[in-house]
Amino acid sequence: MILDSVLYLAAAVIVVMFLAAAIKIFREYERGVIFTLGRFTGVKGPGLVILIPVIQQMVRLDLRTFVIDVPTQDVISRDNVSVKVNAVIYFRVVDPEKAILNVEEYMVATSQLAQTTLRSVLGKHELDEMLSERDKLNADIQKILDKQTDQWGIKVANVEIKHVDIDPSMIRAIAKQAEAERIRRAKIINAQGEEQAARKLVEAGKILSKEPNAMQLRYFSALHDIAGEKSSTIVFPIPMDLMQHLTGKKGKGKKG
């Protein structure tokens, strides 16, 4: 009786182990790459999957989007500025067969490829472009990664450059450059303003020369402004034609 109980117990254990090895349940975002006697025989899931123990083996894959931090990379820009750059990439497995058969560890391979691509792409650009055109650089890196990982069954959805760290001495140089640029723009704007003001004065002078009455109104307006100020000195503007008339008379008297 004891021997029969032991046999029954052993049989039950074997059956449970067999079922545990044979029955697999995959979630909606999981797939299983099946090998039969070492040969690839298909991708199964989600749901219930039954395997033949010993004869068949399975590799489970997650199809959700992975987020990987790209370690900080030393990059020398095209204008010979040394910076430290790190990024983050978003990717997912779209072809489980390729992800298992074509590359040993797709996670490690994608991370290493992202590091080399980051250095290669950013090294072709100047520092100003790294700081001001991140969206364009992100798109360029994503496009290159997506093309190269396609053979691994990987889809790179997005790449984001997180930080561009610059040496403190270079930060001071950039600040001086920005200050000089602001001063240059201020001088240009000031010169343009003076040029426009001079043109308007010339136009106003032409209009006033055509209308003598308008000039008289300007005299009255100037007198009104002067009278409103708290000053003991009052300056009366004298028309230019009157000055010419007086100087002309004086010259004629001397001749006579």
Helix runs in 23-105, H state only? 96-101
CATH of 66-166, one of 3.30.479.30, 3.90.700.10, 3.90.550.10, 3.40.50.2000: 3.30.479.30
Q: Is 9 exposed, middle or buried (0-12, 13-18, 19+ CB in 10 A)?
A: exposed
Distance of CA 201 to the CA centre of its chain: 47
pLDDT of residue 251: 47
The pLDDT tens digits along the chain (256 residues) read: 676 677 777 777 887 787 788 899 999 999 999 999 999 999 998 999 999 888 999 999 999 999 999 999 999 888 888 899 999 999 999 999 999 999 999 999 999 999 999 999 999 998 888 888 999 999 999 999 999 999 999 999 999 999 888 877 766 777 777 788 888 888 899 898 888 888 887 887 777 677 666 666 666 666 666 666 665 566 555 555 655 655 665 444 444 3
pLDDT of residue 142: 94
| Token duo for residue 83 | 């910076």
pLDDT of residue 206: 75
Distances (CA, A) of 37 to 40, 51, 56, 68, 104: 9, 12, 6, 34, 19
Full-model pTM: 0.64
Which phi and psi (to 5°) does residue 176 adopt? -65, -40
